[in-house]
Amino acid sequence: MFFDPFSLMFSIFPLIVIVLFVVVLVRGLREWSRNNASPRLSVPATVVTKRRAHHHNANQLGPVNISRAWVYPTVYCVVRRVRRRLRGTG
């Protein structure tokens, strides 16, 4: 009987993948829960700037030279809170 690294690799590798999947899932659920528990702000605001960026990704599929391209649009928006001045005598 001797040490077989391949049997160890094929028994530990799936375990590592499953653990990583569970960790990512738990972190996502925790963040989702915290976001839902936080209060929503309802304040007057105006859009200051808005810009759009497109990220392109293209690859070739196999030896038949079929290419696919994906475009990921991202919208960046800067919002500024409108401050109201209180009317007073001072």
Residue 79 pLDDT > 90: no
38 - beta bridge partners? none
59 or 41, greater pLDDT: 41
Mean pLDDT confidence for 34-43: 88
Flag whether the pTM goes above 0.85: no
Contacts 24+ apart (CB under 8 A), 72-79: 75/50, 75/51, 76/50, 76/51, 76/52, 77/47, 77/49, 77/50, 78/47, 78/48, 78/49, 78/50, 79/45, 79/46, 79/47, 79/48
| Residue-level pLDDT at 5 | 79
